[in-house]
Chains A and B, each alone.
Chain A
Amino acid sequence: MHPVLKTVLQRLGLGLLTLFVVSVMIFASLEMLPGGFAEAILGQGATPETVAAFNHQLGLDRPAALRYFEWIGNVLHGDFGYSYAGAGGSIKKSVSAIIAPRLYNTFFLAIMTAIFAVPLALFLGIMAALHRNSLFDRAVNAATLTTIATPEFFIAYLLMFFFAIQLKWFPSLSTVSEGTSLLEHIYRAALPSITLTLVIVAHMMRMTRAALINLLASPYMEMARLKGVSQRDAIIHHALPNAWAPIATVIAFNLAYLVVGVVVVEVVFVYPGIGQLMVDSVSSRNMPVVQACALIFAATYILLNLSADIVSIVTNPRLLHPK
């Protein structure tokens, strides 16, 4: 079997196992948290009778193990169940219907940021490696390290202050809904996207730079230079193929962050993404939604890491043709 295909299949198998473990862990930890959905929703208004009525209606008065297997059985059939919220009415809200628009928003923001941030980071990293220790290198390093060291909510507030309140170029609220047009969506998501770009560029840029600098010092690069290959060709044909593996890993890591870790930015800009949904669902113990979010997050990590590994194998002839 082709080594790439074999790796992919192996990883996907392991991924499924990981997803199962994640779902058990999330379910168990939610069970261990004090209070339940009824108490969280009713807050101060939780009397024993209303809590019991709530729990009975949602079937939460049954044993936890039974509920878990019922849920996982449904998931295997593609049914993520119904949200606990509003479950009393005749129109139940399915978890997929709740998550879908938010997931779209999250992916939209992640892709929009990635399209901008990844090339920018690579470009800056390559330039910094080529002009190592120059003024440019130092300036880029200082600037990106500053933005990654600054808490993202603070960057968000600064951008909001200058671009939304002072200059009024962008809206301070990024509320989008289903009817929002593509251009409007991009315009509304601009400030969160810039914030995230500032947060993730440093990591990718530094890794690109470090990987290249390592390679530039290696004997085969010197050989390439000695045989008269131009600087550009030396980097693109000789250095980068060996550098892709670590760079891809870092890019995958940052892309995963863009999907699962941006809840702070979502809250500050009131962007209806999936992070906020998950935090909200955890605090209200809305188990079906939390589980579905957790599975999506875990799957995102697994798939992105898998793609990073594939990139490493494909770009590296030694791995592609193992003896």
Chain B
Amino acid sequence: MTEFEMKLKAAEKAVGLGKLSRRDFIQFVMASGVTLAAAQAMFTRAARAEPKKGGTFKAAVGHGQTTDSLDPATWSNGFTFAWGKSVMGAPLVQISPKNEVIPHVAESFEPSDGAKKWVFKIKKGITFHNGKTLTADDVVATINYHIGPDSKSPAKGVLSNLVSAKADGPDTVVFELSGGNADFPYLVSDYHLAMYPSEGGKIQWEKGIGAGPYILKSFEPGVKMTAERNPNYFGTTYFDAIELLSIIDVAARTNAYLSGEVHFIDRADPKTIDIVKNAPNTSLYNVSGTALYSAPMLVDQAPFDKLEVRQALKWAINRQELVDKILYGYGSAGNDNMLAPSLKYAIQPEPVYTYDPEKAKSLLKKAGMENLKVDLSASDAAFPGGVDAALLMAEQAKAAGIEINVVREPNDSYWDNVWIKKPWCQCYWGGRPTADAFLSISMAADAAWNDTRWKNPRFNELLVAARAETDEAKRQAMYAECQQLVHDDGGQVVLMFNNYVGALSNAIGHGEFNTDFDHDGGFMYERWWMA
């Protein structure tokens, strides 16, 4: 596709969404030499592509296990995560393609007391699939289910600052935090936190009854789920029904797409994606997200306790080559900043870690650590292609006189026995919606997932201060310093940001994609339509 064709397609889509006026569209296409009559015809065609209701959307995803359940506290994979966002569930807020918080079940939210107290107003007249009206009590019960003492929900970690949630009348919920957090509304967009009907303070998730756009029809764990449109949904959705298949094998998934069984597949194989994207009626789903592949070093263990060693290793790795060879170009090189460029407050810290073996050598010389020899624990469980990436890194580091001994770890129980246990290993991070959420969970001194055991006092001080800071400029400056510290001093080697790559049929219409998660941020079921 030429650049003009791409722009034209984008413009047509904007017309379809009503974001581009007739005059602007016609001016744009006439500027490229199209006659007025043709331009008008093009506008009519594009305008007809506006979202419309109907059809059954079929998607196949590369996740799903026979142990999946309807319990929102157990959702953790690509098959289940969107249920809480845009299938059965409706959370308090949604995330827009521009990474902004949009009120959803909540009508509005207001901070007070230095962002330590948040008051959420609940939309009136929302009903669950069983006809029950959604009230503040249901919201409180839902939140308590995840933060309770015996909760096993990953959302417990997300809401670790939340002290209590209390109903104040039928449509107001008051959240008390232990410390100010200006990003609190982002945290409740977590996909586990879909609202469920409650009775006596306990939520009932067993039947999959939520307040979301689709009513669960059938669910076979590890195989398939189907759902039908909720006629009483308080938001907007387009499909009459959805069908979600779990196809773990990437070749089978690709074949399912090519034989027309499904409209969308995620996690396409980058090796064959060029063939898939040339299939008739196909668009590449290629979104640069906030997820990343990293190689964390434990900074309290030798030799990684030496700053020069950490920096030498950072300079000794050719990240662009990793992007080209491991991701086949579907990604971007990391610069030891956990925050993807698309996140608010993200900066590009200087100096950018490019491949510079000479610099690495001189740093090691300074530390008296020439001919450094380190073990790197690698596994494809950390991220697909992990072992290959490690071998490439070992090759690259040779030029700096560093010998990386790649230790292949078993995939099974990698997260128990290797991650945050071996001095240098590999890891992947799914995106988080905000700078605070990401840094707090991965870099804060007391975070359970601080996989570098990096405890920089200045960083931790800034992190807490920035969380409660409501002055945008000051906040921006604080986060910039945080990122610089991680970049300069931290033990995190951010190798690359991987794109979400899939195949999408042109039979499906869509707007701008979310970047926070795959599957249009988990909103594909709600926001896409039959074109």
B236 CB within 8 Å of chain A: no
A33-55 residues at the B interface, CB under 8 angstroms: 33-35, 38-50, 53-54
Q: CA–CA, A286 to B221, complex, Å?
A: 14
B301 CB within 8 Å of chain A: no
Q: CA–CA, A42 to B74, complex, Å?
A: 7
B119-127, B246-254, B360-368, B516-524 - interface stretch:
B246-254
In the bound complex, residues from chain B placing their C-beta under 8 Å from that of A270 are 223, 245-247, 249, 252, 256
On whether A98 and B258 interact (CB within 8 A), knowing A50-B152, A270-B223, A272-B223, the answer reads no
**In contact, A175 and B65 (Cβ under 8 angstroms):** no
Least CB separation from B221: chain A residue? A85
Q: CA–CA, A56 to B149, complex, Å?
A: 13
B68 CB within 8 Å of chain A: yes
In the bound complex, residues from chain B placing their C-beta under 8 Å from that of A40 are 413
Nearest-CB distance from A91 to chain B (Å)?
A: 4
Secondary structure class of chain A's binding surface, majority of residues:
helix
**In contact, B245 and A277 (Cβ under 8 angstroms):** no
Q: CA–CA, A54 to B66, complex, Å?
A: 18
Nearest-CB distance from B92 to chain A (Å)?
A: 21
B330 CB within 8 Å of chain A: no
**In contact, A172 and B412 (Cβ under 8 angstroms):** no
On whether A172 and B261 interact (CB within 8 A), knowing A53-B151, A177-B224, the answer reads yes
A66-113 residues at the B interface, CB under 8 angstroms: 83-86, 88-91, 93, 98, 101
In the bound complex, residues from chain B placing their C-beta under 8 Å from that of A160 are 252, 255, 259
On whether A41 and B416 interact (CB within 8 A), knowing A165-B259, A168-B259, A284-B67, the answer reads no
Least CB separation from B257: chain A residue? A172
Q: CA–CA, A85 to B222, complex, Å?
A: 12
A257 CB within 8 Å of chain B: no
B35 CB within 8 Å of chain A: no
**Chain A 145-166 per-residue mask, 1 if CB under 8 angstroms from chain B, else 0:** 0000000000001001100110
A184 CB within 8 Å of chain B: no
**In contact, B258 and A267 (Cβ under 8 angstroms):** no
Least CB separation from B259: chain A residue? A172
A281 CB within 8 Å of chain B: yes
B132-170 residues at the A interface, CB under 8 angstroms: 150-154, 156-157
Give the interface size bracket for A toward B. Answer: 35 or more
B76 CB within 8 Å of chain A: yes
B371 CB within 8 Å of chain A: no
**In contact, A33 and B412 (Cβ under 8 angstroms):** yes
**In contact, B245 and A284 (Cβ under 8 angstroms):** no
In the bound complex, residues from chain B placing their C-beta under 8 Å from that of A267 are 248-249, 252
Least CB separation from A39: chain B residue? B416
Nearest-CB distance from B437 to chain A (Å)?
A: 14
**In contact, B259 and A85 (Cβ under 8 angstroms):** no
Residue in B68, B71, B416 whose CB lies within 8 Å of A89:
B71
Least CB separation from B448: chain A residue? A47
B274 CB within 8 Å of chain A: no
Q: CA–CA, A171 to B261, complex, Å?
A: 8
**In contact, A173 and B247 (Cβ under 8 angstroms):** yes
**In contact, A173 and B415 (Cβ under 8 angstroms):** no
**In contact, B412 and A85 (Cβ under 8 angstroms):** no
In the bound complex, residues from chain A placing their C-beta under 8 Å from that of B300 are none
B347 CB within 8 Å of chain A: no
**In contact, B66 and A53 (Cβ under 8 angstroms):** no
**In contact, A165 and B413 (Cβ under 8 angstroms):** no
Least CB separation from A88: chain B residue? B71
Which among B76, B221, B246 has the highest number of chain A CB atoms within 10 Å? B221
On whether A85 and B251 interact (CB within 8 A), knowing A34-B412, A280-B222, the answer reads no
In the bound complex, residues from chain B placing their C-beta under 8 Å from that of A277 are 66, 222
In the bound complex, residues from chain A placing their C-beta under 8 Å from that of B415 are 39, 43-44, 46
In the bound complex, residues from chain B placing their C-beta under 8 Å from that of A175 are 223-224, 245
**In contact, B76 and A45 (Cβ under 8 angstroms):** yes
A18 CB within 8 Å of chain B: no
A23 CB within 8 Å of chain B: no
A268 CB within 8 Å of chain B: yes
Least CB separation from A51: chain B residue? B152
**Chain B 195-238 per-residue mask, 1 if CB under 8 angstroms from chain A, else 0:** 00000000001100000000000101111100000000000000
On whether A281 and B67 interact (CB within 8 A), knowing A160-B255, A164-B259, A175-B245, the answer reads yes
Q: CA–CA, A276 to B261, complex, Å?
A: 21
Nearest-CB distance from B126 to chain A (Å)?
A: 23
In the bound complex, residues from chain A placing their C-beta under 8 Å from that of B448 are 47-48
Q: CA–CA, A44 to B252, complex, Å?
A: 27
A-B contact pairs, 29 of them (CB 8 A): A35-B412, A41-B67, A41-B74, A41-B76, A43-B415, A45-B76, A46-B415, A46-B416, A53-B151, A85-B74, A85-B221, A88-B71, A88-B152, A89-B71, A161-B255, A168-B259, A171-B261, A172-B259, A173-B245, A175-B223, A177-B218, A267-B252, A276-B222, A280-B66, A280-B67, A281-B66, A281-B67, A284-B66, A284-B67
Closest 8 CB pairs of A and B: A86-B69, A35-B413, A85-B67, A45-B154, A280-B66, A172-B259, A34-B413, A172-B255
